[in-house]
């Protein structure tokens, strides 16, 4: 019984991984294409484009893990739901709440790690460093924006029952890579550089927008988790 359950779990994870790798390949290909089309891309700009790729890949990973890391998901799958031990798996309100916020904490820590790696090794910090509201807005961008995108991926998967990671991530790739290029005006055509310019231009407004995005991202995660873990979906 346990061997069959492990085999089915491996099959599902492999299928998810294939979707992730295929979507990631499209993301990387488009990024390389856009980088080569830019005549004035410097080494710093190329590093910034790599940060954008990490941002998108991080979002895809979270969208995938939100779906396969909780009991509710496995109890609703047609093949795993037939297993006797899965039918008898207790899912209490406490377990639902704990699982939801455990995943939230892990994803935020993962985002924080990627944020510092990107900031220290792949991008240029502005003069004076990330202090005060400036730093708060930038940290909020890198902590909650991938979480919001990942929650959207989970929503499409759990509610609409559509396997459209490739379409969703392809659209996000075009937007996240192209918009900074169009707004670059000779500067670094990257998401990181664009966030710097927005902060310089609008200051407190960007801080408020980043905090609003943090609230929306947290709520989106909360809703997608309820949809995936709610007892109504497990009956």
**174-200 pLDDT, tens digit each:** 676 666 656 655 555 566 666 666 666
pTM, two decimal places: 0.52
Q: Give yes or no for residue 165 having a pLDDT over 60.
A: no
Query: Between residues 58 and 41, which one has the greater pLDDT?
Result: 58
Give me the mean pLDDT over the 11-33 stretch. Answer: 63
DSSP 143-178: HHHHHHHHHHHHHHHHTS----HHHHHHHHHHHHHH
**Cα 21 from chain centroid (whole Å):** 15
Question: What pLDDT, on a 0 to 100 scale, did the predictor assign at position 166?
Answer: 60
For the chain, the distance separating the N- and C-terminal CA atoms, rounded to the nearest angstrom, is: 22
């Amino acid at each position: 019984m346990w061997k069959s359950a492990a085999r089915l779990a491996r099959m599902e994870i492999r299928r998810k991984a294939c979707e992730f790798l295929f979507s990631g390949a499209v993301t990387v290909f488009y990024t390389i294409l856009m980088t080569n089309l830019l005549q004035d891309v410097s080494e710093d700009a190329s590093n910034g484009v790599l940060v954008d790729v990490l941002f998108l890949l991080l979002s895809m990973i979270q969208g995938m893990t939100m779906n396969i890391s909780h009991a509710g998901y496995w109890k609703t799958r047609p093949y795993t739901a037939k297993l006797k031990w899965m039918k008898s798996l207790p899912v209490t309100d406490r377990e639902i709440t704990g699982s939801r916020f455990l995943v939230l904490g892990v994803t935020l820590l993962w985002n924080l790690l990627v944020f510092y790696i990107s900031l220290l090794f792949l991008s240029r910090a502005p003069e004076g460093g990330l202090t005060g509201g400036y730093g708060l807005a930038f940290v909020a961008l890198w902590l909650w924006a991938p979480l919001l995108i990942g929650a959207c991926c989970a929503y499409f998967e759990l509610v609409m029952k559509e396997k459209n990671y490739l379409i969703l991530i392809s659209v996000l790739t075009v937007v996240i890579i192209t918009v900074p290029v169009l707004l670059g005006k000779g500067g670094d055509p990257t998401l990181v550089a664009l966030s710097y310019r927005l902060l310089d231009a609008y200051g407190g407004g960007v801080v408020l927008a980043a905090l609003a995005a943090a609230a929306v991202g947290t709520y989106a995660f909360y809703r997608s988790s309820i949809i995936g873990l709610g007892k109504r979906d497990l009956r």
